[in-house]
């Protein structure tokens, strides 16, 4: 295994964060603060608590998952798309480095940045509400699994996209609506029975439910169902990445 090659890609991608610090770190923190001001302040004054948890604290896992998903996808997608755009991807593919090591470098860097940002978001939340974490190990587990899974998903999007506009289609038009409809700011128990059933077809529900359980032991679905669904999506992403390198889809002319 050529760990030096994977390390070079990883360090290069991590260094890019330092060059775009305003966009990579400050912007998500400001966005999270605005969510707390709008949702925690305005709506929280009308909804005192949900399942024994204050509304401001209740939305923390959903906000954390929202930022984690968006940042994981965007970091990984741009990380692999830019070498394709400038043509340096062929140098990477011709180097003595395996597809596994290429994915390890790009996806590892995107996941690392997302995890760090997630912890920063969590620290920001503590400035507004009293957050408690009942199961820190499970919280870290969901944090890491989600970051890795959606970094792989973003890697796939970066391979598929052939323009900068396409990089934004899936995160903005698909992922963001799924997160907002996945119980980020409410529990699906509040919905009519029909829409509760419909919500169970939204994969993001399981991510948010699992994360919320690790905080407050409140969940819309079983913890193990949430964990299983996350692992299934991870397996699907790994299979898709394997097929991309096996077939050379949009990597080879």
Model pLDDT for residues 153-208, shown as the tens digit of each residue: 999 999 999 888 888 888 888 888 888 888 888 888 888 888 888 888 999 999 99
pLDDT of residue 208: 93
Mean pLDDT of the chain: 87
**49 in helix, strand or coil?**
strand
Is 128 a residue whose pLDDT tops 70? yes
Helical (H) or strand (E) element with 229: helix 223-247
Annotated domain spans of the chain: 3-247
Helical (H) or strand (E) element with 51: none
**What band does 110 get if pLDDT is binned at 50, 70 and 90?**
very high
- What residue spans of 87-185 are helical by DSSP H? 89-94, 99-126, 136-160, 164-170, 176-180
**What band does 26 get if pLDDT is binned at 50, 70 and 90?**
confident
How distant is the alpha carbon of residue 60 from its chain centre? 15
For the question of whether the overall pTM of this predicted structure is more than 0.85, the answer is yes
For residue 158, the cross-strand partners are none
Model pLDDT for residues 201-239, shown as the tens digit of each residue: 999 999 999 999 999 998 889 999 999 999 999 999 999
**What band does 81 get if pLDDT is binned at 50, 70 and 90?**
very high
């Amino acid at each position: 295994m050529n760990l030096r090659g994977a390390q070079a890609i990883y360090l290069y991608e991590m260094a890019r964060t330092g060059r775009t610090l305003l966009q990579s770190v400050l912007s998500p923190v400001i966005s999270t603060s605005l969510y707390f001001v709008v949702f925690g302040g305005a709506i929280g004054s009308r909804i005192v608590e949900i399942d024994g948890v204050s509304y401001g604290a209740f939305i923390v896992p959903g906000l954390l998952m929202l930022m984690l998903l968006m940042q994981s996808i965007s970091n990984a997608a741009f990380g692999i798309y830019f070498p394709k755009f400038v043509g340096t991807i062929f140098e990477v593919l011709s180097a003595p480095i395996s597809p596994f090591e290429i994915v390890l470098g790009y996806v590892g860097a995107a996941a690392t940045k997302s995890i760090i940002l997630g912890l920063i978001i969590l620290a920001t939340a503590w400035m507004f509400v009293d957050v408690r974490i009942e199961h820190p190990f499970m919280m870290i587990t969901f944090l890491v699994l989600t970051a890795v899974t959606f970094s792989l998903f973003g890697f796939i999007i970066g391979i598929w996209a052939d323009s900068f506009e396409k990089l934004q289609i899936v995160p903005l038009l698909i992922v963001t609506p799924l997160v907002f409809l996945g119980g980020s700011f409410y529990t699906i128990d509040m919905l009519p029975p029909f829409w509760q059933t419909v919500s169970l077809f939204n994969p993001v529900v399981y991510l948010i439910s699992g994360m919320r359980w690790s905080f407050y032991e409140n969940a819309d679905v079983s913890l193990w169902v949430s964990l299983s669904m996350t692992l299934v999506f991870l397996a699907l992403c790994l299979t898709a990445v394997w097929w991309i390198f096996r077939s050379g889809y949009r990597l080879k002319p």
